[in-house]
């Protein structure tokens, strides 16, 4: 990293992500939260997931947030920092706690899945334009934000409005809609999320998410609603993803994946796409790198997974359409030594 301006100015990194991370209490066995006797500790946070994956892929990355002056805050800062992420601009709040949540072991899409959040009044909810280091936030080639932060508090929403407002010399602003219905109690999510997305340069949104939030039923309708962002990525689950930019409308199918846990894939996709964007790769390869990083997350139990090595991912992304269509990825694929065209499923 290289310094810019005065000696106390923040180093410029590839990606800065701002948002809340929480301590996740993950059950040691299946069952209702009422019945699970013990939990393992992990971390959970869309923005920190993205920068952890990017740092693991070799990109200088920074996470900016607020955590409590408590043991859970220590755990978050230490764990995220262990991925190589710069956590020096995370502020500690002596009066508010670090957020935590509990979840059951089942698939999040299942009817029996439970999540219990304890984040109201958290340290991160006190973020504001005056309570974070804006110079450090803007000192990246890419600034990654999500709609989750906008739902935490009025001051957090004000901060996101400040960061997505037109400004000379701002970094490329990446915005993942990441709609969390339980966080929006005022019914304003469609309007607010559309406003923030229109202020970004690069937007990620799920096709089903766009239907739920905005009533948009196909990718063209999403682009019509969001004509401003230079790049729009509509994620379509197992069917793949479509990218709109000033030159292309391109759909790239996802490889077949033997899913272990359907968690963390959206954040991993964003990390893979952003990594390829930072490297100046073409649109098709950006989508393929997104799919590959998502497949790494889908084939492990938790939210975070080591991405494939850059060489491995580049070889797979360079496959012709026929070989890409045959690709099948299972647990352990990121470490598999077999040739990619053999589509191993370890």
CA–CA dist 292, 74 (Å, integer): 31
* Residue 239 reports pLDDT greater than 80: yes
Is the distance from CB of 85 to CB of 47 less than 8 angstroms? no
Residues in the chain: 346
**Helix (H) or strand (E) run with residue 285 in it:** helix 283-298
Residues marked active site are found at 267
User: Using one digit for the tens of pLDDT, what is the confidence trace for 165-214?
Assistant: 999 999 999 999 999 998 998 899 999 999 999 999 999 999 999 999 99
The whole model's pTM is what?
0.93
Residues with Cβ < 8 Å from 247, sequence gap 6 or more?
283
- Looking at the predicted structure, is the pLDDT value of residue 123 above 70? yes
Average pLDDT over residues 96-110: 81
| pLDDT over threshold 50, residue 227 | yes
**Residue 240 pLDDT greater than 90, yes or no:** yes
What's the confidence (pLDDT) of residue 109? Answer: 56
CA dihedral 309, 312, 314, 320 (to 10 degrees): -160
* Per-residue DSSP letter, 100: E
Residues paired with residue 251 on neighbouring β-strands, in sequence order: 242
Say what the pLDDT of residue 106 is: 62
Looking at residue 107, its pLDDT comes to: 57
């Amino acid at each position: 990293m290289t310094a810019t301006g005065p000696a106390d100015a923040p180093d410029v990194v590839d990606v800065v992500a701002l948002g809340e991370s929480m301590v996740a209490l993950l059950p040691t066995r299946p069952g209702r939260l009422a019945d699970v006797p013990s939990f393992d500790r992990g971390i959970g946070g869309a923005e920190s997931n993205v920068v952890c994956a990017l740092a693991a892929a070799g990109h200088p990355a920074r996470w900016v947030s607020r955590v409590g002056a408590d043991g859970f805050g220590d755990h978050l800062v230490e764990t995220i920092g262990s991925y190589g992420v710069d956590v020096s601009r995370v502020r500690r709040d002596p009066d508010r706690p670090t957020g935590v949540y509990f979840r059951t072991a089942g698939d999040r899409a299942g009817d029996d899945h439970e999540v219990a959040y304890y984040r109201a009044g958290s340290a991160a909810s006190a973020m504001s334009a005056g309570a974070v280091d804006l110079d450090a936030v803007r000192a990246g080639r890419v600034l990654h934000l999500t709609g989750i932060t906008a739902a935490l508090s009025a001051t957090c929403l004000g901060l996101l409005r400040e960061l997505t407002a037109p400004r000379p010399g701002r970094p490329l602003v990446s915005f993942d809609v990441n709609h969390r219905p339980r966080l929006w109690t005022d019914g304003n999510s469609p309007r607010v999320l559309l406003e923030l997305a229109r202020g970004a340069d690069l937007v990620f949104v799920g096709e089903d998410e766009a239907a739920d939030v905005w009533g948009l039923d196909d990718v063209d309708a999403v682009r019509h609603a969001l004509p401003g962002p230079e790049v729009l990525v509509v994620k379509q689950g197992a069917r793949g993803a479509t990218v709109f930019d000033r030159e292309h409308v391109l759909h790239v199918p996802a490889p077949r994946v033997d899913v272990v846990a359907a968690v963390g894939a959206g954040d991993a996709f964003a990390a893979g796409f952003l990594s390829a964007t930072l490297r100046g790769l073409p649109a098709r390869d950006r989508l393929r790198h997104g799919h590959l990083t998502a497949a790494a997350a889908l084939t492990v139990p938790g939210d975070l997974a080591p991405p494939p090595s850059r060489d491995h991912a580049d070889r797979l992304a360079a496959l012709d359409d026929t070989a890409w269509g045959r690709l099948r990825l299972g647990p352990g694929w990121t470490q598999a030594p077999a040739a990619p065209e053999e589509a191993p499923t370890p």
